[in-house]
Structure 1
């Protein structure tokens, strides 16, 4: 086995700054065994931008760029969004050469700059790792499946190590040919400092948020966090609450915006469901809404590994997730029967039964919340950094 350099020069190639990943980069930069440099394709998200699915102008109330070495390879694409084709940065090759990495980490396998990084690493015999949240739950056309069988398997042959964010993601890697002994758990990170502080101050934040949204202190609150789009199925929560039969009435609290906002409001009014709509809630205000809730409900029909599950676990919430949410698994952040309950996607009657069960059982709800806290401690940012180190050791040990 070759001697590991100290520190390892790790380059990360990613499309743009993403609020959830910034704490991960800071933690890697603070690790004495790693010299980190992040190559962003474009400064998307650094300034305010319009999110089409959220239907909101978004400006993140957090420092996105401090605490780690980084550079931008180009400007924001014309449509303001990242895609398979953009950013597409010829500058990757000279910038990687200038940094001279020992290992390169890319996100996923279907983006222009990933292909550029793959070819640079191949030409220069630099080991390459990948991280992503792809899973096998999503329904795909026959053509897409056939193409992926060929293309993804070929791409995976170029990776020396695979960093998985959860059980479903690890299964995806293995299905397309990644050896299990080269797949290492590296949970997606959240703003852990902020959320742990919110957990410590949960009672005060809970009372404050409930006053702000006119929710009674003794009400049971089911929280929905995310884009109010058809993909996330927010109206399913309203439909389920309309079918609940338990003795305790449940209030829905929606944090997010999108094209399903008005249909959700209309259905809630029609069905007599008690619901609050907060609209888009920025990252600095969102922990208080988790603190105000008693359970997270995520009925999405396509969500590979939503960070809201990690945020919920850090606060100590039980979760109700559709079976299309890729964060549920025996060693993942949402563990069925422990801190999470899973229902068939679009089955609002089944969701109603689970809501009634949790709403009517304070002891069970508290036990699941405690389990969420324990699971988050297993999968916190230190676990993410440890996964990177295991991947680096494996990548450096493999033949170039």
Structure 2
């Protein structure tokens, strides 16, 4: 009301009440209006307090005061009563969690069995529920004290008017297991280094890429960004899609930090680069990055200054509203047998290092097999590689000397990648090798 009066004043309009003796053209009329507004606000607040107090008092007496109906119960005359079929499912969830000790396999088991969340009709006639169980829904059921026959209000549990579904012993045992698992998850998360691209990274299908990590030898932590469709929780809700990307977090962050740092004002660091990133989309061997223009402009700089710097990195860079769009070309290096799922995006420096490592490792393997061209005297005990992994690397050690020298010196052309060497049928003749690799 106060805002409307101010708008009236700005337009030279006065407000005159028909039922009250005041108008806003006089000081007394303004005072009367403000007093009435203050009392109206006071009345609203008192009414709200009384309603909240009534709800608290009713819940303290164990009365159901409405809300989403919990699985296992229905309501009649503001009283909950047990729906036996649903109650049996609740008991099954508690018992199976106690046996499995983890929510995720329980969610998959319920989904495979065709179980769904509670389906009910609201007072407005809207049909709600009937969805697949998610991990969050199971956690809510396992921690809901309404199944003990209690009503909870602001953290305090009161004896309810409805009957219990779960025995206190089973409920307490489940809470103990939940607490133990929660502590483990917190400790594991604390060990993982922060992932600055969380919430900003998306794959080619526009699915978010979540940070995850694994442990290697010597308790070393390996961080990754993984498509939602490849992690267990994402597979539950996206069962139709099993495509995705797994990218080494440290390599991706290094590529972005090194490439994008020249775009920022002097004195910026990698952390500033990550803050400036609004969104990244991973497409095959390209990173399409959207950056905040406000973070890129230095003092006395205009948008065109930033664009000039960006086009030195990517000639197709452009400004769209408040964002700079830039594409970073990188090489995708597949790992393991999942050739369609690259897990490392590397820059040219990383490509040269990986190529040199392949040559060195291949010579170590040849020496172990007594087949090294550098030690012909050992060839009497020559053995063959016993698997595909070894055969791929042996062939690299038998490349023409000039090709190996170029790789070791870091002078290999950009089109020669670790993936090319590992997945090509390398001929034995050196001239054919040079033609195959486009090295004349």
TM-score, normalized by the shorter chain, greater than 0.5: no
TM-score bracket relative to the smaller structure:
under 0.3
- Greater helix percent: which structure? 2
Q: Which has the higher contact order (CA 8 A, sep 6+)?
A: 1
Task: Give the alignment's TM-score, normalised by structure 2.
Answer: 0.21
